[in-house]
Amino acid sequence: MGHTDLQSPHFTHFSARSMGNSNFSILMILGLGIAYSMIKISYRKECISHRDFKENFLRSESMWRVIYTGQRPAHENMALDSVLLELKSEGKIPNTIRFLQFKPECVLIGYHQAVEQEVRLEYVQREGIEVNRRITGGGAIYFDELQIGWEIIADRESFGNKSYEKITRTICETVAKALRKLGVNAQFRPRNDIEVEGKKISGTGGVFEGNAFLYQGTILMDVNLERMLKSLQIPVEKLTSKGIKSAEDRITWVKREIGRLPEKEEVFNAILEALKEELGIEPYWGELTKEELELFEEKKDYFKSDEWIYHVKKAITGDEILYGIYRCPGGTFRVSAKVDPQTKVLQQVIINGDFFINPKRLIYDLEAYLKHTPVQEVEKRIREFFKEREFESVNLTVDDFVEAVMFPLRKLEAQDLGIDKKKLNRVIGSIGGGLKENIKKAKVMLLPYCAKPTWCDYRHTDDCGECGGCTVGDLYRMAYERGMIPITITSFEMLRDVLQWCGENGYTYIGHCCYEFYEKRYEIFKKAKEWGANGVFLDIEGVTCYSLGVEEEEKAYHGEFQVELDLYVEDSEKLLSLKEKTSRVQKRQSAQKPVPNENLKEFIPQNYKVPKVAPGPQEDMSRLPIVRETSTEIGFINGQKVSFEEALQVAVELLSKAKRPTLIVGPLVLWAWNEEAKKKGEIIKRLKEKYPNLNIHLLPDYKPKNKKVDFSREVDPPNPHLSVLYGEHDLTLMIGVHCYRTDFTIRMLKKYTDTKIVTLCTLYGHPDADVSLAGVNSKKLEMFYEMA
């Protein structure tokens, strides 16, 4: 399908230029309809013949053909990519700009990716969404009928023989300029994205063949985010209503940016004008040649076959296969390696993932080159391989290939500690150092809440009663015996804060999680390394939320996942044998039996069941997330550090002007842990008397309410914004809420409500709030009351 598919006069100024002034004069005299027909006829005479093409266009490097191939199934579009690149590499077609669309909707994975690792096959098969593989690298993307694809198929000389990275920048900056012509404030973001104020609107990638290359991208016009996210293997929070909102902070689309959905012709014209201005080319509308169509018919069935779609490379499987995941600025590697456990010789390695490299077959050559290499020589062999070969990529280095392949091979160290050769993958990996080195240094042990029984009162606290009812207690015992600090992680926000605390104190940690969690949260672990926290990661046993599908992942995100997992106690003990046992230190008792604060009893519903345990003051003190300032004599206003007095004055003004203020009272004050908590409770009671319109909302612990919550009185920990929305509150104050939960609550309130936020923090304050007071003891709270 070529120019004849576009019945639009918007393109005629490009065609007229190639036709000559006579046709253009006819256009002016006879009108758009007749002129368009004549242009089409004239154009078809010029372009349908391959012989005529060679005569007219190979002699003019500035003339670039433009084609729109219509809405096609995924396999046809992939076949056309292959056809155009092959014929361009043979010098048989001109430099070409191709516009394309997909029908039916589809998911396209990158050339080096494995379908099973990138696509939720159960969902797409149920929904009738096609799956296919691009000839270019990069990550998985979702296409529906609205999105517009664009491609440039050209020779390298047309871009001054630039490197792949520079060609990427040139093309992406040009397409960003085209979007600006439409009113979208787009910019190029390395390595290969086009963004609008930090939100991705176009992903791109390319591939070389000989002296020719194909560079392609998609423009998001209007997006069904929920359908897109459910089609791809991505973190679960993006699949919830909250996650969709969160995804909107990372992705955007044309209609959202300019308030309308432009016709495709307008988008095409904007791109062509930008290419003309930036590259100095003369676009003209054409169609596929006879040779292109014949080759397309030969290829299209292959691109529909499982041989093409699934040819990369399911990871090799078996008990003795080592797996590893490595991420770097150039992309993501997933490596599986078969090693002879006796001779320590690498027998086979498979490398796939989300990255761009030219030539494409370089990965296959590397895999073959490394066969039968002793493990201790693998790094040397990889460096020898690249020393003898040239390659092009975006932000990939030889060191990245070394680290990607060596990451799973380092698990062999665990065999020296007594781990059975068939169980080495229970060690996920080690970041920031060797496995043995990090275990010896480990100071903190991180454990997942989902390994505690659903009936356990400690399931949603950071502590453990060590009752013997689950494997978490066994690991707490081991940690205490070796002078380590065990902490149960109950949310992602808590994980982030604990890792930052580890980094600031120079602590190495041992973390227990599933492979899927490690992969999807890799960035925070990598960030922790930058903060100064190295880590070892051990797998967990059982059916995880990720393997049970979208619905269970969503429950896990809310803290409502009901399956109990197990930890590998025996293997953990073998690994911890590197650490000497010490006399058992006094265990923390951060989770204790709560006693209601007498001054706040009237705000607790009569039918409310006091929890058996609740997080106490020590839980915050054991892992201060950020020691931003050692002083607590400060405050924050809109993220700016100010004096305590200045922040206090603004907080009081907000309360005095609020029509429907609410005060969230957390477990640090709701329960009478000490005299300080009791004094704060008495001040809150007087504050309520002074401000009768002040709503008191209770956050007694951080255990999800499973949707059984009275929004007029309580706060559901995973959904703190719902109480605010329910009461239409214009000001939210927080007191007695642990810092890690306060950070989470602030983020949720800002995302879903317009409420102003004031935090009265015992520790170092929260810059993300509108106003935050640090070091708020009972005396400072009394000051707040007196000024209010």
Q: Which pLDDT does position 519 carry in this prediction? A: 81
Q: Which pLDDT does position 543 carry in this prediction? A: 62
Q: Three-state DSSP class for 424?
A: helix
Residues above pLDDT 70, as percent of the chain: 83
End-to-end distance of the chain based on CA atoms, in angstroms?
72
Residue 437 in this model has a pLDDT that exceeds 90: yes
Q: Pairing state of beta strands 442-448 and 485-489?
A: parallel
Judge whether 522 lies within some domain.
Answer: yes
Q: Which pLDDT does position 471 carry in this prediction? A: 93
As a whole number of angstroms, the distance between CA 594 and CA 611 comes to 7
Residue 63 in this model has a pLDDT that exceeds 50: yes
Are both 356 and 245 inside the same structural domain?
Answer: no
Judge whether 21 lies within some domain.
Answer: no
Taking all residues of the chain, what is their mean pLDDT, rounded to a whole number?
82
DSSP conformation class of 411? G
Judge whether 9 lies within some domain.
Answer: no
Q: Which pLDDT does position 629 carry in this prediction? A: 39
Residue 245 in this model has a pLDDT that exceeds 60: no
As a whole number of angstroms, the distance between CA 202 and CA 96 comes to 20
CATH number at residue 360: 3.30.390.50
Instruction: Report yes or no: 222 and 255 within 8 Å, Cβ to Cβ.
Output: yes
What lies within 8 Å, CB to CB, of 610 at 6+ separation is 594, 596, 700
Q: Structure tokens of 144? A: 């529906």
As a whole number of angstroms, the distance between CA 547 and CA 542 comes to 10
As a whole number of angstroms, the distance between CA 158 and CA 274 comes to 16
pLDDT in tens, 117-145: 789 888 999 999 999 999 998 888 999 99
Range of 113-122, 303-312, 751-760 with top mean pLDDT? 751-760
Q: Structure tokens of 680? A: 């704060």
Residue 510 in this model has a pLDDT that exceeds 90: yes
Judge whether 676 lies within some domain.
Answer: yes
Considering 378, 412, 446, which residue would you say is the last residue of a domain?
412
Distance of CA 251 to the CA centre of its chain: 11
Q: What residues make up the domain containing 522?
A: 418-588
Residue 776 in this model has a pLDDT that exceeds 60: yes
Distances (CA, A) of 599 to 168, 607, 671, 682: 65, 18, 10, 5
Considering 412, 439, 466, which residue would you say is the last residue of a domain?
412
Judge whether 46 lies within some domain.
Answer: no
Are both 352 and 376 inside the same structural domain?
Answer: yes
Distance of CA 412 to the CA centre of its chain: 30
Judge whether 727 lies within some domain.
Answer: yes
Q: Which pLDDT does position 15 carry in this prediction? A: 32
Q: How confident is the model at residue 319 (pLDDT cuts 50, 70, 90)?
A: low
Are both 115 and 161 inside the same structural domain?
Answer: yes
What lies within 8 Å, CB to CB, of 33 at 6+ separation is none
E strand spans, 490-572: 508-512, 535-538, 540-541, 566-567
Are both 218 and 70 inside the same structural domain?
Answer: yes
pLDDT in tens, 490-502: 888 889 889 988 9
Q: How confident is the model at residue 229 (pLDDT cuts 50, 70, 90)?
A: confident
Q: Which pLDDT does position 392 carry in this prediction? A: 81
Are both 244 and 373 inside the same structural domain?
Answer: no
Q: Is the peptide bond before 374 cis (omega within 30 degrees of 0)?
A: no
Distance of CA 486 to the CA centre of its chain: 28
157 DSSP β-pair partners: none
pLDDT in tens, 77-129: 999 999 999 999 999 999 999 999 999 999 999 988 888 878 988 899 999 99
Are both 343 and 278 inside the same structural domain?
Answer: no
Are both 665 and 774 inside the same structural domain?
Answer: yes
Least confident of 193-202, 347-356, 586-595: 586-595
Least confident of 255-269, 454-468, 653-667, 674-688: 454-468
Q: Which pLDDT does position 36 carry in this prediction? A: 35
Q: Which pLDDT does position 561 carry in this prediction? A: 52
pLDDT in tens, 140-173: 899 999 999 999 999 988 888 788 888 899 999 9
Q: Which pLDDT does position 353 carry in this prediction? A: 84
CATH number at residue 776: 3.40.50
Are both 207 and 248 inside the same structural domain?
Answer: yes
Judge whether 25 lies within some domain.
Answer: no
Instruction: Report yes or no: 696 and 599 within 8 Å, Cβ to Cβ.
Output: no
Are both 188 and 325 inside the same structural domain?
Answer: no
Number of domains in the chain: 4
As a whole number of angstroms, the distance between CA 90 and CA 592 comes to 75
Residues above pLDDT 90, as percent of the chain: 47
Are both 240 and 290 inside the same structural domain?
Answer: yes
Q: Please provide the DSSP assignment of 375-427 as one string.
A: GGGHHHHHHHHHHT---EESS--HHHHHHHHHHHHGGGGGGGGT--GGGGGGE
Residue 712 in this model has a pLDDT that exceeds 90: no
Q: Which pLDDT does position 706 carry in this prediction? A: 63
What lies within 8 Å, CB to CB, of 399 at 6+ separation is none
Are both 150 and 296 inside the same structural domain?
Answer: yes
pLDDT in tens, 610-657: 877 777 776 665 444 344 433 567 899 998 999 999 999 999 999 999
Average pLDDT over residues 5-11: 33
Q: Which pLDDT does position 3 carry in this prediction? A: 35
For residue 9, is it left (φ>0), alpha (ψ between -120 and 50) or beta? Answer: alpha
Are both 524 and 602 inside the same structural domain?
Answer: no
Q: Which pLDDT does position 76 carry in this prediction? A: 97
Judge whether 32 lies within some domain.
Answer: no
Q: Which pLDDT does position 647 carry in this prediction? A: 94
Q: Structure tokens of 774? A: 């640090």
